[in-house]
Each structure stands twice: as structure tokens, then as C-alpha cells.
Amino acid sequence: MKKRIFSGIQPSGNLHLGNYLGAIQNWVKLQDEFESVFCVVDLHAITVPQDPKELRRKTIEIAKIYLASGIDPKKSSIFVQSHISEHSELAWILNTITKNSDLTKMTQFKDKTLIDLSEIENAFLQRELASKNNDIHFARSRGRSDAFAESKKIIHDFKLNFNSVGVGLFDYPVLMAADILLYNTEIVPVGEDQLQHIELARDLAKRFNKKFGETFIIPKHFVKKEGMRIMGLDDPTKKMSKSAASEYNYIALTDSEEIIRKKIKKAVTDSGSEIVYRDDKPALKNLINIYSLLSDKTTAEIEKMYVGHGYGDFKTDLADVIVNFLKPLQAKINAISDEEVLQILHTGAEKVRPLAQQKMIDVKQKLGFIV
């Protein structure tokens, strides 16, 4: 029996090279070694507003990208998350053993909402400490009324941010845990930015097992070192993101040759002109990583190739490498009909539904529900 893996991508934004190199490319290789379950996670997508027509189009597009990239429906199960109602059902049950503190500490939630309870707590602790120690400087510079006003502002800002966020965005790590645990997943191939969510899935599995008896397998993460963090073309300190405000952050898998060349030409570089692979040149290092991963050349080989050459020559060649890589992929995507994709997605759902149903029967029996 092969170990089972599960992973998925939201049908929102434009899938880009970071998604391919950090996830999909890896899935293609893993499907020969593992029993693979790959999902288009549309329930996750609606944690932020979506246009219904665009959501349908993107769901089909992502499934096409899966197939064009080499995910084989004969080897792997490919389906749409909302086609298996047990995902939502298990998420609700897991909510009942999830603590608010489990979710407020999630880094991605803090990044998206600007809500960080630890910062608020530290601010109040500093004021309390200053007051207890009769800090003269604190008393003179701020006074009780100023301290009260600052504390009031902190509470106001927290309430404003927290109350403007939907419950789905706050709670989606629990749905992600349900996705994983529903299929007795043993290995979860993820980027390092998702490790905290895998830890939550592990914690909830252990918590449920301890309270109700052995029910869930405790999943482990699998992180591919190379390509796991392709950074933004406009900011090498932040990961390439399909939800980025600027389209110059990423190379979409569906970008035209003209757009690709324009984006690479505008990609930020570091000071100097040498093509070197060093940590103190993060923008150039990121571009060399992309070149290396798409050309099968080592970073050292690329450095040697461009001795005596400047950024202009390097960027021109990098654009060629990306275009030559994406053209055949795009041709495969365009050759797959919507009807073919829908049939594969429905077949995939039928394949995994018995697994999901059996797991929910087990969960309900453990809880004391009448099955």
C-alpha cells in the first residue's frame, strides 16, 4: 500500500511560476511514489469575494494546468473540493475542538488582516510595567490620560480590523485541516509558508484522537527545498504571489511571450552589474534560481556563462528560457476542452467520495451521533 498525499490550489488569481516550481512540478514527480489526491480548493477561494463566472472559469483553468503539467488522472485523483460535502462537514466538527488562540496566531491571518494579538498584549504589558515601576519618564512624557488614550486607540484599531474580516478568512486553516485529515493523508507536499497550517492539522488530529479515540492519521509535511520560495520580481523579500497587487510581481503560466519579456525587463535587480549568486544580492539570486530550475543548469554554471556580461544580456536570456518553457505547457492547456476537464473532475470526485464518506461515518460514531 502506497502512502497517501493530499494537496490543492485555490482557483483565484493567476497561477504563476512559483506555484509550478514550488508545488505542481513536485506533485507530478510524487504521483508515481504515492497515492495522490489533488484538489481545486474552491471553498477556500470564497473566503474572500469572488466573481461567480470568474470562479467557474478559474476552477476549470487550474484543472487544465494540473493535467497539462503532467498530473495523470489514471495515477492521481483530481477533483473539486465543493463536490465532496464531507470537507465542509468535517471542518465544522473540527471547529468544535479548535481554540480561537489556534487561529489568531496564524501568520497568514495576521499578514492579511494586520491583526496581531501578541503586539497588542505587549503594548499593554509595557504600559502596566511602566505604571507598576512608577517609571518617571513614562509618567512625565505620557501621563495617565495619554496612556489611556493610547490604550483606547489600540483597542479601537483591533476592533476595526477584526470586525471587518469574514469568519471564513479567520477559520480557513480548520477547513484546510479537514481537507487533509478526511483522506487519511500521511504526507502533505507544501511550501514552507504553509507549515504552520500543517501543524494545526496535526494538533487537531491529536486533540480529536485523545478525546474520542484513534480516528485520524497524524500527517507529516513534505517540503521541496529547491523552488519552494520563488520570490516576487518586484520585491525579492516577498514570495511570488498570485494575489499580488502588481502584475509585475509574477510570471503567470498563461502569460504571453510579449508580457513575459516585459515583466523580466522590469524585474528589480541589485546594485552592481556582475551576474553572481549571493545572499547579499537577493533579487539576482531569485532570477538565477528561476533560470536554473527551468533550464536544468546549476547556479554555478549560470554564473560562469555570464562572466563579463551585464544584467541586460542575462535578462534577455532568462526571458527566452521562460518563454521556451511555457510555450509547450500553454499549448497543452489550450488543447484540453472544458468538457474533458469536467468529466475528469467528476470521475475524480466519485473515486475519493467513498474515502470521505467512510471517514465521516467513523468520526460521527466516535462523537456519539446516530449514523
DSSP type of residue 189: E
4-98+174-223+338-367: CATH class: alpha beta
pLDDT at position 83: 98
Q: Identify the pLDDT of residue 122.
A: 65
Residue 145 has what pLDDT?
54
Given a cut of 80, is residue 247 above it in pLDDT?
yes
DSSP-derived pairing of the beta strands 4-9 and 35-40:
parallel
Entry field: residues in the chain:
371
Residue 159 binned pLDDT confidence (cut-offs 50, 70, 90): confident
> 3-state class of 9 per DSSP?
strand
All cell numbers assigned to 37: 489526491
Domain ranges of the chain: 4-98+174-223+338-367, 111-163, 247-334
- Rounded to whole angstroms, the Cα distance separating 338 from 343 reads 9
Burial class (CB in 10 A: 0-12, 13-18, 19+), 147: middle
Q: How far is Cα 42 from Cα 63, in angstroms, rounded to an integer?
A: 12
Q: Say which residues have a Cβ less than 8 Å from residue 274's Cβ, sequence separation at least 6.
A: none
Whether pLDDT at 367 is above 60 = yes
Window from 60-69, 131-140, 235-244, 264-273 with minimum mean pLDDT:
131-140
Dihedral sign computed on CA atoms, order 243, 9, 232, 329? negative
159 neighbors 182 (Cβ within 8 angstroms) = no
Question: Grid coordinates in use for 321?
Answer: 528560457
Question: Looking at the predicted structure, is the pLDDT value of residue 228 above 90?
Answer: no
Cell digits for 35?
497515492
Residue 15 pLDDT exceeds 80: yes
Per-residue confidence (pLDDT) for residue 165, from 0 to 100: 78
- Percent of the chain, pLDDT > 90? 68
- Between 134 and 259, name the one with better pLDDT: 259
Q: What is the pLDDT of residues 73-131, one digit of tens each?
A: 999 999 999 999 999 999 999 999 999 889 888 877 777 666 666 666 666 666 666 56
Question: Which residues participate in catalysis according to the annotation?
Answer: 112, 239, 242
Is residue 38 over pLDDT 90? Answer: yes
pLDDT at 196 over 80: yes
Q: Which residues pair with 37 in a beta bridge?
A: 6, 77
Listed in sequence order, the DSSP H helices in 74-222 are: 86-95, 100-104, 107-113, 117-132, 136-141, 143-163, 167-181, 195-212
Cα dist. 2→36, 47, 75, 188, 343 in Å?
9, 33, 12, 14, 26
* Residue-level pLDDT at 141: 54
Q: Calculate mean pLDDT across residues 264-271.
A: 93
| C-alpha–C-alpha distance, residues 294 and 317, integer Å | 12
Mean pLDDT on 308-334 = 95
pTM to 2 decimals? 0.86
Class of 247-334 in CATH: mainly alpha
| Short-list 85, 44, 63, CA closest to 176 | 44
